[in-house]
Amino acid sequence: MFRHSAIRIWLMLLIVALLLPVQRAQAVVGVVEPFRDYYNQHDGVRVLGYPLTGLTEAGGYQAQYFEKGRIEDHRSEVVDSVWGFMYGRLTAELMALNPSGAVNATSLTYAQLAELHDPSYRHAPPIGFTSGVMQLPTGAVFIPDDPLLRRAPGYHVPARFWRYMNRSDLFPAGWLHDIGLPLTDAVQVTTIKNGTMRTILLQAFERTVLTDDPLNPSAWQIERGNLGLDSINILPAVSPIELPAVGSHATLPLHIMARVGVPGQLLAVALRWQDGTTLRSALTALRGEDGRGLLIGSINWMQESQPPQPPSQWAMLEISDARGAILARQGVFMLSAADPDTRVVQLYWVLGDQVTPFERHIVSTPRIGAAALEELLWGPPPPNLAGFETALPLPSEVLSYAGRESDWGPRVRLLSLNIVDGVATANFSQELRAYGGGSLRVHFITEQIRQTLLQFPSVHTVRIAIEGRTDGVLEP
């Protein structure tokens, strides 16, 4: 019946960097497994700041970004358990990938930092130095540029930084593990705090930059820079997965939208919970609005009777081709149906000549009416043994609709839901016009939306809008 279907002016960078931490912090859930215990045991708030993402991938390792760095899980390849968890080498990455970016919201760019890392700036080993590190007459400490601390040219680390690096309460695995080798000498830079320009000292290391701001409270004069924030806000996104969003909460069925593969290609989708539970499915890539492959659809357990019920935990979503090559990977926090952060709603599907309610657990939100409608737009998920259908256009129909315009996207979206005095106005994107007409279909679309909203006590009447217009929409 119906088809399924970035600025050179450092001050501007500074303003962006100062504003975005709050927005990012509000969007994430918390420290994920397997990093939670490590974070809690290593004064994570002080050393790393707050999380910016959920479980993700970096260089082939499970990872999570924080304001001040990135934790990586290397346990599968190391013998020494101390090196099972490592902080990512963000400084070197940012120097290579974003030379015009501001370092930790200062006047220094990563290109300038790379220049300071040039071998010509390194100091010859002090007289008498053989290996390890060596305190200099100035009080500074010489550290060779060698991972085994053998005799080699290196850098001078100010005494105040050296004392901070050796705090066992902050860096119990040692400075070489948690901070890494210095990449530059300490330099003076400027930054703006509380509307005032300040001069601070900054030194780059493999896994962080250290700053010394004498105007900060005494306990916070020396701290790690916000390189995790620099990475998230400045480095280009690498994941082609648009939905689910990185670190978001989700329930089954899991809705996926990813720019991967080629049109018509059958792709393998795997969702692996941390306890080992794995859901496997296969979806065919559509031809996206830009002509590239677009994987868009939902995955779920294919049995309606007694499917696995893993408890709420982080999971990794992976999309692979027929050869097993991973095309995309994304971390998502999967809520079990019994999780108190879920809520049951009724979604109305077409069955025969009527619309019929079907119970669904979705992520609880104050915008529960909008969330229910957004769920409705994905259509009946698998296994759908009852044969439910939807009159709302699904992506396959939207993308193939002869009357689509150049600015259309691949799917119908809910733009807004406003409820005033019992009247709910559901405003949808222009792709809803792909229904193509027909009085019966208009009836079913209207009833699916209306009945889904009328389950909520605050709604007594429903109006449907497309791009803000309520007149002349959904005509037969």
What pLDDT score was predicted for residue 235?
A: 52
pLDDT at 3 over 50: no
pLDDT class for 2, splitting at 50, 70, 90?
Answer: very low
Contacts of 422 (CB under 8 A, 6+ apart): 458, 459, 460, 461
The residue among 326, 313, 377, 324 whose CA lies nearest residue 347 is 377
Higher-confidence residue of 389 and 84: namely 389
| 3-class DSSP state of 15 | helix
From CA 63, how far away is CA 85, in angstroms rounded?
9
Q: For residue 273, what pLDDT is reported?
A: 86
Does residue 254 contact residue 299 with C-beta atoms inside 8 Å?
yes
46, 101, 317, 318, 443 from 278: Cα distances, Å:
35, 40, 10, 11, 40
Residue in the block written with tokens 């997965």: 241
Choose among 297, 299, 317: nearest CA to 307: 299
**What pLDDT, on a 0 to 100 scale, did the predictor assign at position 19?**
31
pLDDT at 14 over 70: no
At residue 357, the pLDDT reads: 97
| pLDDT grade for 16, boundaries at 50, 70 and 90 | very low
Count Cβ atoms below 10 Å from residue 220 Cβ, excluding itself. 9
Report residue 240's pLDDT band, with 50, 70 and 90 as the boundaries.
confident
Q: Could you tell me which of 395, 356, 349 has the C-alpha nearest to residue 376?
A: 349
For residue 76, give the DSSP letter. T
SS3 state at 111: helix
Q: What is the pLDDT of residue 13?
A: 31
- Report, as an integer, the average pLDDT of 105-117: 93
* 10 has a pLDDT exceeding 70: no
Q: Domain 239-339 is in which class?
A: mainly beta
Residue 26: phi, psi to the nearest 5?
A: -75, -20
pLDDT at position 249 is: 87
Domain boundaries, the chain: 10-234, 239-339, 362-476
The dihedrals phi and psi of 389, each to the nearest 5 degrees, come to -130, 170
pLDDT at 234: 60
Task: Please give the average per-residue pLDDT across 259-287, as a whole number.
Answer: 93
CA angle 137, 140, 145 (to 5 degrees): 115
pLDDT at 17 over 50: no
Say what the pLDDT of residue 28 is.
36
Cα separation, 287 vs 290, whole angstroms:
8
Helices (H), 105-226: 110-116, 159-165, 175-178
424 vs 101: which has the higher pLDDT: 424
pLDDT at residue 138 is higher than 50: yes
Phi-psi region of 133 (alpha: psi -120 to 50; beta: other; left: phi over 0): beta
Is residue 274 within 8 Å of residue 226, measured between CB atoms? no
468: confidence class by pLDDT, cuts 50, 70, 90: very high
The alpha-helical segments, DSSP class H, found in 28-152 are 36-41, 44-47, 90-97, 110-116
Instruction: Calculate mean pLDDT across residues 362-378.
Output: 96
Task: Provide the percentage of residues in the chain whose pLDDT is more than 70.
Answer: 92
| pLDDT band with cut points at 50, 70 and 90 for residue 61 | confident
Distance of alpha carbon 429 from alpha carbon 398, whole angstroms: 11
Q: Is the dihedral of CA 161, 162, 163, 167 positive or negative?
A: positive
pLDDT in tens, 295-330: 999 999 998 778 999 998 878 888 999 988 888 877
Q: What angle do CA 370, 374, 375 make, to 5 degrees?
A: 120
Highest mean pLDDT among 73-82, 193-202, 378-387: 378-387
pLDDT confidence band for 453 (50 / 70 / 90): very high
C-alpha dihedral sign at 111, 112, 113, 119 = positive
**Residues 85, 178: Cα–Cα separation, whole Å:** 10
Q: Name which residue leads in pLDDT, 130 or 50.
A: 130
Average pLDDT, whole number, for the chain? 87
Residues 6+ apart with CB under 8 A from 209: 91, 103, 104, 202, 203, 224, 225, 227
